[in-house]
Structure 1
Amino acid sequence: MNIALLANPTAGKGRRASLLPAVRERLGADVTVLAGESAAASRDLARQAVADGCDALVAMGGDGTVHLGLQAVAGTGTAFGIVPAGTGNDFSVRLGLPGEPLAAADGIATALAEGRTRAIDLAHIVGGDGTEAWFGAVLAAGFDAFVNERANRMTWPKGAQRYNRAIVEELLALKPRQYTMSLDGTASRFESVLVAVGNTESYGGGFRIAAGADPTDGLLDVVVAEPLGRLALMGLRPKALKGTHIHDPRVSTHRARVIELDGAGITAYADGERICPLPVTITCVPAALRLLG
C-alpha cells in the first residue's frame, strides 16, 4: 500500500503534532508525508499524490486540512482517511469516526487491509467568478460567514479572542441581507441574517446548524433564519448546539440537490474556509468520497 499522509502540525494549536510518527507507524504501509509551506501548496501536493496513483490519502489535522484533502480525492475513487487532530473536527465527528488520532489511524489501517470503504456524498461549489471547490460539512453565507471574513482581516488580537472580537463587531453591524435562492429550480427572494447549507450537521466545533443532515441521502440541507435582532440571533446559538433551533418558527429548513444562492456583498465559507463571493451553485454529488473507517 502507498499512502499519502497530508499533515498539518499546527492544527489544534499543535497539541497533536508529536503523534505524527506514531500515526505514520500505525498506518502500517509505505507512507509519504505531505506538508506544504502553505495551504495551497499542501493542496497541490495532495492532488499530485492522487494523480500519481496513491492507494489512499489520509488527512491528519482539523477541518481545514480535511477540506484540502477533499479537493484532491473528490470524485476520483481514491480512498480517503481522517486522523482528527484539530479543535472542532466537525466532519469526522458527524461521520462517526474515532475522535482519538491513534485509534483513527488504527481504523484506517484495518479498513485498508480489508479493502473496506464507505460511500459519502460531497457538495460541489461553482462560483460566479469561476471558483470550483468541494466541501464535506457546512457552507455558511450569513452571519457566521461575515464573522469569519472580519476575523481574517484582523491582525489583533490573536487566537480565539480575535474570533470573539469579530463576533461582537458583526453583532453591532448586524442587518438583514437580501438573498435570491433556487432549490432544484424553485426560486425565491428573502431577507435573512443566517443562511447555511449542510452536507453534514455541524460546523464551528459542534454547532448543529443543519441538524438531521445525512451525507448519504443525495441531498443538501438548507437552513434560513428570518431577519433577527442581535439578542434573538444570539438566543439561537445555544439551541444550535443541540440542533433544536430548526424547530424555532423563525427558522426554515429545506432539502435540495442543486442550490443556487446569491446576495450582494456576501462571501461564502465552507468547512471554515473562504471560498468565493456569491453567487454560487452548490450541487450534492452522491458517493463522491470513498471513506476509510
Structure 2
Amino acid sequence: MEIAVLLNPSAGRGRHAGAAKAALARLEAAASIRVLSAGTREEAEKAGKAAVADGVGALVALGGDGTVHLALQAVAGTSTPLGIVPVGTGNDMATCFGLPTDPVAAAGVLAEALKANRHKTFDLARLTTAQGETRWFGAVLAAGFDAIVNERGNSMRWPKGPRRYDIAIVVELARLRPRAYTAVVDGKRLGFEAVLLAIGNCTSYGGGMKICPDADPHDGLLDVVWAEPISRATLMRIKPRVYAGTHIDHPKVRQLRVESIELDAEGIVCYADGERIAPLPITVTAARDALRLLA
C-alpha cells in the first residue's frame, strides 16, 4: 500500500524534528511512503487533495493541528482514511481522537492500523462561508475574543513568535466589548450578546483548553459555548478555568447542542483548528461519520 504524508517541518517550531524523522521511519516500515512537498499552505492542501484523487491508501498529517486541518480538506467525506502523527504545539485533534501525543507511538498505532486495515469513524464540522466555500474542521471554531486576538496577532509584524499574541491579548482586553450576534440554531432564530464564543466538534483548542467540555465527535451534534457580557476582570478569572472545563459552570456562560448553526456578527473573522477561515456570517453543520481515522 502507498500512503501520502503531508509533512510540516516547521510544526511545533521545529522542536520535534528528531521525533518526526523517527515517526516517518516507523511508517516506512509498514507501507510505501509518498512525502508531499509544498511551499505554502495552499500548495499543501492542493497536494493532499491530489493524492486522495490519485487513490492513495491513506493520507497522513505529520505536523500540528494546522497540518491536520489541511489534510481534512482532502479526506473529509471520502473513503480515504486519515492518519495523524502529532508534532505540533497543541495537538488537540490527536488528543480528541484518542491518539498518542508521542509522535513515534502515534506512528506505531498508524502502522498497526494499516497492517490490519483498521479505522474508526468520527464526526466533523462542515462550514460554509458567505461566498459558498466549504471548509471542514475537526476540533473547535472560535468566533469571539480568541478569534479577535488571533486576528490582531496575525496582523502584527513585531515582535516575532508567540510574544506577539501576548501583546494582542493585552490590546484586545483593553478594547473588550460585547458583540451582537444573530444565529439560526436548528431553524430557530436567536439574538444575543457575547464576548467569547466557540463551536466545538471536539472539546479543546489552544493546547488543551476545554472550551467545549461536553463536545463528543460521535454524537452528530456541535456544542456552542459563549460568555455573556462580562468585565475584563471576570473574563480573566474565567479563562484559566477553561483548561479544566469548569468555566461552563459560571452563571454568565451558556451552552447549546445543535445540528446546525448560522452565525453572524459584525467585524469578526473566525478561526477553526487554529486556522484563519473567513469573516462571519458562516453556517456550520455537524457531519456524522465524515472522517475515517487510522487508529
**Does the CA contact (< 8 Å) of 1:94 and 1:201 recur in 2?**
yes
Deviations 1:9-54 (A, max 9, x none): 1000101223344222211211011131000100100000000000
Shift of 1:173: 0.8
**Mapped pair 1:12 → 2:17:** no
Partner residue, 2:246: 244
Amino acid at match of 2:78: T
- 1:283 alignment partner, one of 262, 281, 285: 285
Shift of 1:112: 1.0
- 1:233 alignment partner, one of 235, 239, 242: 235
Shift of 1:130: 2.4
Greater shift in the superposed pair: 147-156 or 123-132:
123-132
Partner secondary structure for residue 108 of structure 2: helix
Amino acid at match of 1:211: P
Percent identical: 55
Partner residue, 2:32: 30
Gaps of 5+ in 2: none
**Mapped pair 1:189 → 2:206:** no
Distance across 1 between alignment mates of 2:36 and 2:17: 14
Distance across 2 between alignment mates of 1:21 and 1:230: 44
Distance across 1 between alignment mates of 2:98 and 2:49: 26
Partner residue, 1:158: 160
- 1:139 alignment partner, one of 135, 138, 141: 141
Amino acid at match of 1:82: I
**Does the CA contact (< 8 Å) of 1:57 and 1:79 recur in 2?**
yes
Partner secondary structure for residue 233 of structure 1: helix
Alignment of 1:1-293 (within 5 A): 1-27=1-27, 28-293=30-295
Distance across 2 between alignment mates of 1:229 and 1:35: 47
Equivalent residues, number? 293
Partner secondary structure for residue 238 of structure 2: helix
Shift of 1:129: 2.3
Distance across 2 between alignment mates of 1:216 and 1:284: 10
Distance across 2 between alignment mates of 1:35 and 1:149: 28
CA RMSD of aligned residues (A): 0.9
Distance across 2 between alignment mates of 1:176 and 1:23: 45
Partner secondary structure for residue 18 of structure 1: helix
Distance across 1 between alignment mates of 2:278 and 2:173: 22
**Does the CA contact (< 8 Å) of 2:81 and 2:294 recur in 1?**
yes
Gaps of 5+ in 1: none
**Does the CA contact (< 8 Å) of 2:20 and 2:87 recur in 1?**
no
**Does the CA contact (< 8 Å) of 1:8 and 1:35 recur in 2?**
no
Shift of 1:115: 1.1
Distance across 1 between alignment mates of 2:84 and 2:213: 22
Shift of 1:214: 0.2
Distance across 2 between alignment mates of 1:114 and 1:209: 35
Deviations 1:218-252 (A, max 9, x none): 00000011011111111111110100011111001
Shift of 1:158: 1.1
Distance across 1 between alignment mates of 2:208 and 2:19: 24
Distance across 2 between alignment mates of 1:179 and 1:233: 18
Distance across 1 between alignment mates of 2:106 and 2:163: 31
Distance across 2 between alignment mates of 1:167 and 1:37: 30
Partner secondary structure for residue 123 of structure 2: strand
